[in-house]
Copies of this chain bind each other. A is one copy, B any other.
Amino acid sequence: MNAPLAQRIPFPPGLRDTLAAMLGERFTTAAAPCGHHGHDESHFPDAVPDAVAFPESTEEVSAIVRACAAHGVPLIPFGAGSSLEGHVLAVRGGLSMDFTRMNRVLAVNVEDLDCRVEPGVTRKQLNAVLHGSGLFFPIDPGADASLGGMCATRASGTNAVRYGTMREVVLGLTVVLADGSVIRTGGRARKSSAGYDLTRLFVGSEGTLGIMTEITLRLSPVPEAVAAAVCAFPTVDDAVQTVIQTIQMGVPIARIELLDAMMVRATNAYSKTTLREAPMLFFEFHGSPASVKEQAQTVQELAAGNGGLDFEWAEQPEDRSRLWAARHSALFATIALRPGARALTTDVCVPISCLADCIAATEQDLATTGLVRTIVGHVGDGNFHVVLLVDPEDEDEIERAEAASRRIVQHALDMGGTCTGEHGIGIGKQDFLVAEHGPAVDVMRTIKRALDPANLLNPGKVVPGL
């Protein structure tokens, strides 16, 4: 773990008074809310902020940033707290800015397939608002994350193989900069060549370059037909070969997810499913009825060629929902294999041709570690997660898990992959960022220093040494 040592300054009484006067009960230094904002779903130790603010508008965010800047106090944006990489941990103390109260869907433009939201809106909340409009928001990381957090980490998930990631669907942003000034990036046109792509610079910047206060998102038409199925395979490799062939044939599949046998066992126990305990793919097909039929037939043939058993179809919408709810519970299902454990989750993503080798090398390596673990992944993108269970009190086990994680990342980098497909760098992967990008990290540092010279926006995240 390479979390920087805490370099905390005491919370200035003048700032406390300013924020209390500005926000009333929406500002607190009480232990319980500060504690709640000091941890996430990662395995990193808690790092509690000194205070929490609950802004309700861009103007308030701007005023809070100005006040914190005047006192040199760090700011950490907080969405749903579902980060797996310690993004919300207040490793230098400071103010946690909770976006729960900025959770309005500001506009839905059905005819343009876009919407504008505040960052505290969660993906499920947005889809509830869109219900009946003929549109949906496809990015689905499993957790009911906030859209601000999903922007900040460049999130993706099960639908990304067809619908892209947050990189593709964010059209524009309102951002409060480190000095409190407010800018708008991008716009509602589907494409633009007007200047530097600041939208994409802020997406994935993990709150370190600016604080997003409005997000314009591209939506997708609800497909006319949807079909979901599962298919068991003799080995993980057979399943992965099916994925590779599906992608290489250009089948516009909406979801294609791998679970290893241990993950299926954990899912059965946790989600009361009765899936065969074997390596398995979960599929979903979107399109016109004819197109869905055609896609499904192609993939069934590929699966059969790799020893796959018959597809089991989730015919009804409720069956589909149950299936994907089970898939989305993978993290908690794994943790339930060993009560009291915390999860260290890897997130490598490799070129699709290397996926089988990468997973095989990873499995072989893990077999020697004795760690309880599952493998689950968005394999259509070449992205998979190993969930390693650790006893949070057992330093030796944590070290073994972290060493295994380092080796998994190294395998992936050696194959031209990335250390993180969708979870972000946070506090735990800064060394990997350097291993992956080398001198390009110096450019990231130059940009961070230019936009946040006092290093107050989520300090200690993404760029090492800041």
B353–A193 CB distance below 8 A: no
Nearest B residue (CB) for A199: B200
Q: A184-B438, A188-B351, A198-B443 are in contact. Are A193 and B250 (CB under 8 A)?
A: no
Whether a CB of chain B sits under 8 angstroms from the CB of A312 is no
Q: A189-B421, A425-B193 are in contact. Are A446 and B438 (CB under 8 A)?
A: no
Residues of B within 8 A of A227 (CB): none
Q: Beyond A183-B439, A193-B421: 5 further Cβ-contacts under 8 Å?
A: A181-B439, A185-B437, A195-B204, A195-B444, A443-B451
Q: Which of B177, B349, B425, B450 contacts A195 (CB 8 A)?
A: B425
9 closest A-B pairs (Cβ-Cβ)? A200-B200, A221-B250, A450-B450, A192-B418, A111-B353, A183-B440, A189-B349, A188-B416, A112-B351
Nearest B residue (CB) for A185: B440
Interface size class of A (residues with CB under 8 A): 35 or more
Residues of B within 8 A of A184 (CB): 437-438, 440
Binds B, one of A11-19, A24-32, A150-158: A150-158
Q: How far is the CA of A463 from the CA of B309 in the complex (A)?
A: 59
B153–A193 CB distance below 8 A: yes
Q: A352-B112, A447-B196 are in contact. Are A189 and B382 (CB under 8 A)?
A: yes
Question: Binary interface profile of A, 201-216, with partner B (CB < 8 Å = 1, else 0)?
Answer: 1011100010000000
A112–B443 CB distance below 8 A: no
B191–A436 CB distance below 8 A: no
Binds B, one of A45-53, A121-129, A287-295: A287-295
Q: How far is the CB of A331 from chain B (nearest CB, A)?
A: 17
Residues of B within 8 A of A443 (CB): 177, 183, 198, 451
Q: Which of B177, B190, B416 contacts A189 (CB 8 A)?
A: B416
Q: How far is the CA of A436 from the CA of B436 in the complex (A)?
A: 36
Interface centre among A188, A422, A433 (most CB of B within 10 A): A188
Q: How far is the CB of A214 from chain B (nearest CB, A)?
A: 13
Nearest B residue (CB) for A436: B194
Whether a CB of chain B sits under 8 angstroms from the CB of A455 is no
Question: Binary interface profile of A, 246-290, with partner B (CB < 8 Å = 1, else 0)?
Answer: 011110100000000000000000000000000000000001101
A353–B196 CB distance below 8 A: no
Q: How far is the CB of A425 from chain B (nearest CB, A)?
A: 6
Whether a CB of chain B sits under 8 angstroms from the CB of A67 is no
Q: How far is the CA of A112 from the CA of B382 in the complex (A)?
A: 10
Q: How far is the CA of A207 from the CA of B168 in the complex (A)?
A: 23
